[in-house]
Structure 1
Amino acid sequence: MKNTLVSTCIALRKLFSCVVIFLASVGLLIAAPGVAQAQTGEPTPKLAGDLVFFEGNDCTQNIVFSYDSSKPANDNCQQGGECNGDNDEARSLKILGLAQSGTLIGVFDDPNGGTQDDFSYILTQGAPLGPDVCVGTFEKSTTTPRYLITHQHNNGLDGKISHVTIIPNYGR
């Protein structure tokens, strides 16, 4: 009986150690993705916010950058900000369930955010903690329970995003 109890305790300690290591690894990936990348050598996605931009239409392919719906931004993707280095990459947007309602997202072909070329405005709406939704293209004006998009077309916007603007609590 004593050997069985000792064996059980040893097995539980090993299991507990594995769980602690796993949880620490997950915490490291969330809190310090750059450190995790340096340790594993694997690239980590640029995921720091609840507005996630994808390389492919319909929220497919790679994540190219993300924004936090509660923080204002006005970024020329050729010069800086969250989208820096990913100019002319984004083709779709996933609005995560935690995204603030009333956030205005502007995406522009013009790197200075001008409206003489293609652009779209996306306004998040609906209750917070709603489901994740995909804006599959920036080139179509539409209304859904989670967002409203207004698009001005010239020669195409998908894959040509050069400026991103985020305005939290728009109109409040």
Structure 2
Amino acid sequence: MKIKDYEDKIVKDEVEVDYYVPVTVSFSENDDKYGLGEFYYYRFVNEHESFVEIKINSVTRKVVEVVFTSINNIEDSNLTIEEYTEKNPVIQIDIFEENSIITKESGFKIFRGNKKIYFKLDEEKVDSIVKMSSHVSLFLNEDSEIIGLDFSSFSDNEWAELNESIKSTT
């Protein structure tokens, strides 16, 4: 999935950490105000059935929700992101012309550390990082395609609940 353009601002988000669906981050201001648009779904699934879904509004062409649905494999890491730009991406939606749901089955590992969870497609190199909200950053390759996500800025309670959810599934 490719980024077409950007708004030069980060977007307000709402995060929900749950025992059954580990992380849901919603961006209500990216939705169309009349609710006329349909939704497109871009899904990342790895060989362990770990599953991340990005929901895009067809009218605004912006991300309205990111859900880390299933975490079935995880490794500890201490990644620190120092360079990023703060922008709200506008998605190139022509890949959804045939189907409103695209599933990218690919190898990726999930990492956690420093109160963050992230993944990156195995075969891809990160060219840039776009922080779209206080909780979500996008990893992009040189073609401006989303190749991974970073979930961060969890409160102590959210982080504890997230780790409890991960412990129950792995």
* Same topology, TM > 0.5: no
Normalized per residue, which structure has more helix?
A: 1
TM value normalised by structure 1: 0.24
Normalized per residue, which structure has more strand?
A: 2
Larger Rg, first or second structure (1 or 2): 1
